[in-house]
A and B are shown apart, each in its own frame.
Chain A
Amino acid sequence: MKTYLLPSLKLTAVLIIICSVLYPLLIAGIAKVAPGGGDGVTVSSHGRVVGYENIGQKFTEDKYFWGRPSAVDYNAAGSAGSNKGPSNPDYLATVQARIDTFLVHNPGIKKEQISADLVTASGSGLDPDISIQAAKVQVPRIAKIRNRNEQELYALIDKVKEAPLFGFLGPEKVNVLKLNIELNVK
Chain B
Amino acid sequence: MNTELIGVVAMFTLTVLLAIPLGKYIAKVYVGEKTILDFLAPVERFIFRICGIDSTKEMNWKQHMIALLSINMLWFVYAFIMLLTQGSLFLNPDGNPSMTPDLSFNTAISFLVNCNLQHYSGETGLTYLTQLIVITFLQFVSAATGIAALVVVFNAMRDKVTDKLGNFFDIFTKTVTRILLPISIVLAVILVFNGSPASFEGKDTITTLQGDTVQVSRGPAAGMIAIKHLGTNGGGWFGANSAHPLENPNYLTNMVEMIAQVLIPIAMIFALGFYLRKKRLAWTIFGVMTVGMLTFLIPTMIAEINGNPAITQMGIDQNAGSMEGKEVRFGTPASAYWSIVTTIISTGSVNSMHDSSMPVSGTMQLLGMMTNAFYGGCGVGILNYYIFIIIAVFISGLMVGRTPEFLGRKIEAREMKIASIIALLHPLLILAGTALSSWTIVNHPDAAWAVKPANWLNNPGYHGFSEMLYEYTSSAANNGSGFEGLGDNNIFWNITTGIVLILSRFLPIIGPVAIAGILAKKKFIPESAGTLRTDTGTFGIMTYAVIMILAALAFFPALTLGPLAEYFSLY
Per-position binary interface string of chain B over residues 551-570, scored 1 when its CB falls under 8 Å from any chain A CB and 0 otherwise? 00000000000000010011
Whether, in the assembled complex, A68 has its beta carbon less than 8 Å from a beta carbon of chain B, the answer is yes
Q: Scoring B residues 246 to 261 as 1 if CB is less than 8 Å from chain A, else 0, what string do you get?
A: 1001111011000000
Q: What 1/0 mask marks residues of chain A from 109 to 141 whose CB sits below 8 Å from any chain B CB?
A: 001111111011111111111110100000000
Closest residue on chain B to residue A5 by CB atoms: B70
Contacts of B50 in A (CB 8 A): 10, 14
* B330 near A23: Cβ-Cβ < 8 Å: no
Q: Within 8 Å of chain B (Cβ to Cβ): is A106?
A: no
- In this complex, the member of A53, A116, A125, A126 whose beta carbon has the largest number of chain B beta carbons within 10 angstroms is A116
Q: Assess the A171–B4 pair: CB atoms within 8 A.
A: yes
Q: Across the interface, do A31 and B320 meet the contact criterion of CB distance under 8 Å?
A: no
Instruction: For A119, give the chain B residue with the smallest CB separation.
Output: B316
Q: What per-residue 1/0 map shows which CB atoms of A144-179 lie under 8 Å from chain B?
A: 000000000000000000001100111111000100
Of the 9-residue stretches B148-156, B353-361, B388-396, which lies at the interface with chain A? B353-361
For this complex, 22 residue pairs linking A to B, each with C-beta atoms less than 8 Å apart, are: A1-B69, A5-B70, A5-B74, A24-B223, A27-B223, A34-B198, A36-B195, A38-B192, A50-B209, A77-B123, A86-B357, A87-B459, A87-B462, A88-B463, A112-B317, A117-B323, A119-B316, A122-B323, A124-B240, A124-B244, A130-B328, A171-B328
State whether B324 touches A77 (Cβ < 8 A). no
CB of B322 within 8 A of CB of A117, answer: no
Q: A35-B195, A87-B463 are in contact. List 5 more A-B contacts (CB 8 A).
A: A24-B136, A30-B189, A38-B192, A74-B214, A120-B311
Report yes or no: A80 in contact with B121, Cβ–Cβ below 8 A: yes
B316 and A23 contact, CB distance less than 8 A = no
Whether B263 is near chain A, meaning CB under 8 Å from some CB there, is: no
CA distance A41 to B318 in the complex (A): 32
Contact assessment for A24 and B220 in the assembled complex, using a CB-CB cutoff below 8 Å: yes
Q: For chain B residues 170-208, which have a beta carbon within 8 Å of chain A?
A: 173, 176-177, 181, 184-185, 188-189, 192-193, 195, 197-201, 203-204, 206-208
Give A68's nearest chain B residue, CB to CB. Answer: B328
Q: Are A123 and B327 in contact (CB under 8 A)?
A: yes
The answer to whether the Cβ of A143 comes within 8 Å of any Cβ in the partner chain is no
Does B243 interact with chain A (Cβ within 8 Å)? yes
Contacts of A41 in B (CB 8 A): 195
A9 touches B352 (CB 8 A): no
Q: Does B210 lie within 8 Å of A116, measured CB to CB?
A: no
B307 partner residues in chain A, CB cutoff 8 A = 116
Shortest beta-carbon distance, B131 to chain A, in Å? 9
Which residue of chain B is the closest to A100 with respect to CB atoms?
A: B314
Interface positions of A (Cβ within 8 A of B): 1, 4-12, 14-16, 18-21, 23-24, 26-28, 30-31, 34-42, 45, 48-61, 64, 68, 74-89, 91-92, 95-96, 99, 111-117, 119-131, 133, 164-165, 168-173, 177, 180-181, 184
Q: Using CB atoms, name the residue of chain B closest to A22.
A: B181
B56 within 8 A of A: no
> Cβ of B397 < 8 Å from any Cβ of A?
no
* Cα–Cα distance between A95 and B323 once the two chains are bound (Å): 12
Whether A12 and B214, one on each chain, are in contact in the complex, defined by CB atoms closer than 8 angstroms, is no
| Pairwise interchain contact A8-B193, C-beta atoms closer than 8 A | no
The 5 lowest CB-CB distance pairs between A and B, nearest first, are A123-B243, A83-B485, A85-B463, A81-B353, A31-B198
- Please tell me which one of the listed residues B121, B176, B327, B483 contacts residue A15 in the complex, with CB atoms under 8 A apart: B176
Query: Which B-chain residue is minimally distant from A87 (CB atoms)?
Result: B570
The complex places the Cα of A48 from the Cα of B210 at a distance, in Å, of: 12
Chain B interface residue count, CB cutoff 8 Å, equals: 121
- B255 contact from A34, A89, A111, A169, Cβ within 8 A: A169
A77 CA to B392 CA, complexed, in Å: 51
B71 close to chain A: CB less than 8 A: yes
- Across chains A and B, the number of contacting residue pairs, with CB separation under 8 Å, is 375
| Cβ-based interface call for B78 (8 A) | yes
Q: A24-B220, A128-B245 are in contact. Are A77 and B331 (CB under 8 A)?
A: no
Closest to B47 in A: A14
Residues of the A chain whose Cβ atoms lie less than 8 Å from the Cβ of B222:
27, 31, 38
Flag whether B6 is at the interface (Cβ < 8 A): yes
Q: Of the candidates A45, A79, A121, which one forms a contact with B209 in the assembled complex, judged by CB atoms under 8 Å apart?
A: A45
B325 contacts A8, CB within 8 Å? no
The listed residue (A27, A87, A128, A130) touching B359 by CB distance below 8 A is: A87
Instruction: Please tell me if the beta carbons of B3 and A83 are within 8 angstroms of each other in the complex.
Output: no
| CA A59 to CA B103, docked complex, whole Å | 36
From known contacts A27-B222, A78-B121, A124-B245, infer whether A19 and B136 are also in contact, taking CB-CB under 8 Å: yes
Also in contact, A123 and B351, with CB within 8 A (given A129-B327, A169-B251): yes
Chain A residue nearest to B140 (CB atoms) is A19
Pick from A54, A80, A82, A177: contact of B249, CB under 8 Å: A54
Task: Name the one of A1, A68, A85 contacting B566, with C-beta atoms under 8 angstroms.
Answer: A85
Nearest-CB distance from A175 to chain B (Å)? 9
Given contacts A19-B136, A27-B223, A77-B216, contact A169 B351 (CB under 8 A): no
Residues of A within 8 A of B176 (CB): 15, 18-19
Q: In the bound complex, do residue B316 and residue A111 qualify as a contact, i.e. CB atoms below 8 Å apart?
A: yes
Q: Which residues of B contact A126 (CB under 8 A)?
A: 240, 244-245
Give every chain B residue within 8 A of A48 (Cβ-Cβ). 207
For the complex, give the distance between the alpha carbons of A180 and B195 in Å: 21
* Interface pair A76/B210, CB less than 8 Å apart: no
Contact of B549 with A by CB under 8 A = no
Residues of B within 8 A of A61 (CB): 210
- Chain A residues positioned under 8 Å from B460 (CB to CB): 88-89
Q: Tell me if B53 is interfacial: C-beta within 8 Å of chain A.
A: yes
Flag if B3 contacts A168 (CB, 8 Å): yes
Contact in complex: A40, B137 (CB < 8 Å):
no
Residue of B nearest to A86 (CB): B308
Beta-carbon contact of A95 and B246 below 8 Å: no
| A181 CB to nearest B CB, Å | 7
**Do residues B353 and A83 form an inter-chain contact, with CB atoms below 8 A?**
yes
- What separation, in Å, do the CA atoms of A19 and B215 have in the docked complex? 29
Chain A CB within 10 Å, residue with most, of B123, B209, B350: B209
Interface string of B297-340 (1 = CB under 8 A from A): 00000000001101100111111111111111111001100000
B66 located at the interface, meaning its Cβ lies under 8 Å from any Cβ of chain A in the complex: yes
Query: B442: CB under 8 A from chain A?
Result: no
CA separation between A52 and B246, bound complex, in Å? 10
CB pair A116–B320 under 8 Å, yes or no, is: yes
Q: Is the CB of A82 within 8 A of B47?
A: no
User: Is the beta-carbon distance between A20 and B136 smaller than 8 angstroms?
Assistant: yes
Nearest B residue to A49, CB-CB: B206
